[in-house]
Structure 1
């Protein structure tokens, strides 16, 4: 067996870069960045407008995203003439299409079911045109390209909850507050969790006292599934400065990890977290990485210039701290690139998550000093590298996501309660595409023609845990060296990418396909069980040395039918 781990680097050909002096705020014409022809630090390009401010975002196909906003006066309108709060964004046309949401999604959350449906839950009160979303569950149906809403189905109100795809194929909804707030407090705290769909006829809340113990900075708790081979659903939960492993099956805390050094990492002192890439060579040993945040709930307080890494599989493990590349950052977004590196982008140097106070020349911006450049973290070398800067400040209500062609979509930012354009930090509709340095390799890119005999990205291809899948791949040049991975792209909001996961795969065999020139038959082994990567939609990527496939292949991963 030839087992090779991924080292994904991307080739991106034909990028045209035009000269530009300075870009004004959102409403003006779209232009492209000038980076002097140097691609070594990546390049930025403004490609379109999001239609609604991208408070939430998720990838629904290889070339389409869905954005979700709160109630405000977006120019994009529903068919009834009311400002839309959700839009489908097409990466091929760079145009947005209004979607139908009628309940308030403000500060809700989302995760994917094993059947490939996106679930979003929670929100805030309604108004004359929108109903309350506080106990609402919404389903995004890819087959119709729009939403269904089920009002009042959650047993309690949830504002700033976290959601997570579970190994069972359903989703977890955990924490939050029962009313809108900047900092949580006991009178509105919701220290519980629930499941969708429920095991019975109605959703039921289950107590989680840890969310009371960790007040006040306990909103949008950081939650990840811990891989295991015992059939357990074990969660890593980080809130405030504390972390636990929690067994969903027993409803009990299994272990409390050491307190994390440095400041606070949860909303409104917002940091971000990921499980570092998992590999079969060490039995998918899980390490969590948490970065950014702040030490104090003060406008002038400088953000955390620190990250911590914790081994979740070792007894008495201690936090391994580093300097986050030397840059303080509140509200960073963490996005896996296809080579397993992590792009930290967006955010501010000072303050906390929230809206400006007041207006006009005397407005106080509670998050200030935008960090315009991303940093790239290499988890093998344990190094941070600063990359090319954007010119668009992206702070509160910004998002970042990997695109299956290896680029990164970045959009959003709205540090005020309603649409405001002619201000220092406007409501941002501009959509940017960042092309990381790995896109400029000269190695030939492989093109996946089919997966399990199906042409890729026409529909999700059904595959199963432990399955050996077959790909037909074309690539020019000399003998290839193929590697592979799975990435679940998650649901992004408030610097949390809920469910984002990166798993290295085993390449079992590569044969020359005698039926066509430069064509190969490749077999790849999928992960062993759903604690490693959750059932549902993910993308399978194949690499030739440092060059990616033209696009990842969209799959729907589940248990083999019995």
Structure 2
């Protein structure tokens, strides 16, 4: 398989023969796994990276007791809890990337199968859940020290939001779409009392299956400010300002569902903010066949889908272009990497999402190169040691690693006597670009404005041991995702205009770029900024668009 890495290797062999030979023998071209913690006490069902380089994780309050006590010998009393009325254990933590430590957080209401987004001030807004948590909004501010904790606002949602999806909007609001038996959407915060009720979206009703499933619909904010919504097999462009469907696309080929419980995954491929007409392309990979869910209930686990579909939604006549992954996968997480590639990680080879409904864990991540040659875009990575099935998650970290946790395919915590025990460990996966053998190409940002403005030019400086005269340098920003149930909400990459490089010292360079063109291309808020040199990214730097 001729991948970008191999092409890069051939380049290095030609121009840097000694280093090229070193790369040729480097097994880390398939990435590396590292165990960070054997136990963090909870199963990481939901994850969000915050601007203070900490990751918020939580599962649900009605699992039974976790392996982590609440701080200060406190307990949670919940008469509606179906497992424990009194629970003195934690179900949420905050993990510090730099120190590899974590501490317990206190959440009072059930967060099971909920959703989230980050506001422009960096506050995590977390919506819905199950039972006493289904109408709740929770917030967590990214403060320093050990004083931050969840703040909960009961009955703030107009409808029950269980398995809903969120998307941050250009005006700073969050749109909350769907949920089980919810064929509507609402906004947070509300602009006025007149917008206090949910708004019907019949498309969600039309796309449900016989089990009322089209859960966690895929949402992507398009560069024109409208919303792409995908539910099961169908997709639309939706004008949420006027409650109008502007366009419906052809059904994805094969007519197999891709949303929960079939649980494929989706990304909006990197946006290139370089032309007057900005293109947008959505990619959806994996999933399960239409009958996988009822068959799994009966103990038959069908092969997961191995197909990926790409749809350039800005084309005049858009059509799905299908490709095959090297292996089938359901419940895989798709994340955009700093170099513009997409990683597909976690999941199973057969069955579907749900309690005990999957088999054949897929331990090898895939890296997909969107601009590679057709039918030659996938690379198979090194295998993990642990299966990550239902309720596993993954997020991109500041330094370019992927943080992986979770996996609880059981109704409660279950550590013994089952094929796939509840997993409360935490791991990281280092993609091949983090191999030390690439250090001579790796840029290191040494100066950048922390505030970016729309359309305004800015400069940043970086060092690199060996600058490739024939290579290119680009600057891009990534909005970190809220990941749960095989969908990473709100993630987006924007490749910025500019990229002209000048030398200003020994191994020191300046690159000039422009802030995003519009809030529709990149909503206000915090992003990770990366410089990519010769295909190798720097570590991310936090910047704020305002």
TM-score tier (shorter): 0.7 to 0.9
1:528 aligned partner: 517
Aligned length: 484
TM-score normalised over the length of structure 1: 0.82
- Seen in structure 2, the aligned counterparts of structure 1 residues 477 and 322 have a Cα distance that, compared at 3 Å, is closer
Q: Secondary structure at the match of 1:210?
A: helix
User: Which among 146, 151, 155 is matched to residue 152 of structure 1?
Assistant: 155
Segment drifting more, 422-431 vs 467-476: 467-476
- CA distance in 2 between counterparts of 1:466 and 1:408 reads 31
1:553 aligns with 2:545: no
Deviations 1:396-446, CA, capped at 9 Å, x for gaps = 001111112111111110001211111321111211111111222243422
1:424 aligned partner: 419
In the TM superposition, 1:323-338 aligns within 5 A as 323-325=324-326, 327-338=327-338
User: Which among 481, 488, 500 is matched to residue 497 of structure 1?
Assistant: 488
- CA distance in 2 between counterparts of 1:471 and 1:40 reads 29
* 1:156 Cα deviation after fit: 1.4
1:88 aligns with 2:94: yes
Segment drifting more, 95-104 vs 275-284: 275-284
* 1:533 Cα deviation after fit: 2.1
Deviations 1:195-250, CA, capped at 9 Å, x for gaps = 0000114732111011111112311111111112xxxx311111111111110121
Deviations 1:9-57, CA, capped at 9 Å, x for gaps = 99xxxxxxxxxxxxxxxxxxxxxxxxx9721211111111333211100
- Seen in structure 2, the aligned counterparts of structure 1 residues 77 and 531 have a Cα distance that, compared at 3 Å, is same
1:167 aligned partner: 170
* 1:92 Cα deviation after fit: 2.7
* 1:470 Cα deviation after fit: 2.3
- CA distance in 2 between counterparts of 1:463 and 1:50 reads 36
Aligned 8 A contact 2:339 2:536 in 1: no
1:434 aligned partner: 429
1:393 aligned partner: 387
- Seen in structure 2, the aligned counterparts of structure 1 residues 225 and 478 have a Cα distance that, compared at 3 Å, is closer
Aligned 8 A contact 1:141 1:148 in 2: no
2:136 aligned partner: 136
- CA distance in 2 between counterparts of 1:478 and 1:344 reads 31
* 1:62 Cα deviation after fit: 6.2
1:451 aligns with 2:448: yes
Q: Secondary structure at the match of 1:146?
A: coil
- CA distance in 1 between counterparts of 2:104 and 2:52 reads 19
Aligned 8 A contact 1:62 1:403 in 2: no
TM-score normalised over the length of structure 2: 0.85
Q: Secondary structure at the match of 1:39?
A: helix
User: Which among 350, 353, 362 is matched to residue 371 of structure 1?
Assistant: 362
Aligned 8 A contact 1:505 1:525 in 2: yes
1:471 aligns with 2:446: no
1:347 aligned partner: 347
Q: Secondary structure at the match of 2:205?
A: helix
2:508 aligned partner: 519
User: Which among 101, 116, 120 is matched to residue 114 of structure 1?
Assistant: 120
User: Which among 54, 60, 63 is matched to residue 64 of structure 1?
Assistant: 54
Aligned 8 A contact 2:183 2:200 in 1: yes
Which one scores higher on RCO, CA 8 angstroms, separation ≥ 6?
A: 1
- CA distance in 2 between counterparts of 1:267 and 1:476 reads 46
Deviations 1:424-483, CA, capped at 9 Å, x for gaps = 21111211111111222243422222222xxxxxxxx33222122222323334577532
- CA distance in 1 between counterparts of 2:511 and 2:46 reads 36
- CA distance in 1 between counterparts of 2:451 and 2:282 reads 29
- CA distance in 2 between counterparts of 1:373 and 1:479 reads 32
- CA distance in 2 between counterparts of 1:528 and 1:445 reads 28
2:315 aligned partner: 314
- CA distance in 1 between counterparts of 2:329 and 2:135 reads 33
- Seen in structure 2, the aligned counterparts of structure 1 residues 478 and 500 have a Cα distance that, compared at 3 Å, is closer
2:22 aligned partner: none
- CA distance in 1 between counterparts of 2:333 and 2:188 reads 26
Segment drifting more, 216-225 vs 500-509: 500-509
1:206 aligned partner: 199
Aligned 8 A contact 1:88 1:98 in 2: yes
2:105 aligned partner: 99
* 1:521 Cα deviation after fit: 3.2
2:398 aligned partner: 404
User: Which among 219, 241, 253 is matched to residue 249 of structure 1?
Assistant: 241
Aligned 8 A contact 1:115 1:169 in 2: no
- CA distance in 1 between counterparts of 2:40 and 2:412 reads 16
Aligned 8 A contact 2:274 2:496 in 1: no
1:266 aligned partner: 259
- CA distance in 1 between counterparts of 2:41 and 2:525 reads 28
- CA distance in 2 between counterparts of 1:317 and 1:472 reads 40
- CA distance in 2 between counterparts of 1:280 and 1:328 reads 33
- Seen in structure 2, the aligned counterparts of structure 1 residues 153 and 316 have a Cα distance that, compared at 3 Å, is same
- CA distance in 2 between counterparts of 1:419 and 1:334 reads 26
Q: Secondary structure at the match of 1:438?
A: helix
Consecutive unaligned residues of structure 1, counting only runs of 5 or more, are 1-8, 11-35, 126-131, 178-188, 357-365, 453-460
Aligned 8 A contact 2:473 2:533 in 1: yes
- Seen in structure 2, the aligned counterparts of structure 1 residues 97 and 214 have a Cα distance that, compared at 3 Å, is same
- CA distance in 2 between counterparts of 1:277 and 1:145 reads 33
- CA distance in 2 between counterparts of 1:544 and 1:315 reads 34
- Seen in structure 2, the aligned counterparts of structure 1 residues 503 and 478 have a Cα distance that, compared at 3 Å, is closer
Aligned 8 A contact 2:265 2:332 in 1: yes
User: Which among 290, 300, 303 is matched to residue 284 of structure 2?
Assistant: 290
- CA distance in 2 between counterparts of 1:66 and 1:227 reads 28
- CA distance in 2 between counterparts of 1:351 and 1:478 reads 48
* 1:499 Cα deviation after fit: 0.9
- CA distance in 2 between counterparts of 1:462 and 1:150 reads 31
2:208 aligned partner: 215
- CA distance in 2 between counterparts of 1:281 and 1:451 reads 21
- CA distance in 1 between counterparts of 2:285 and 2:467 reads 41
- CA distance in 1 between counterparts of 2:516 and 2:96 reads 31
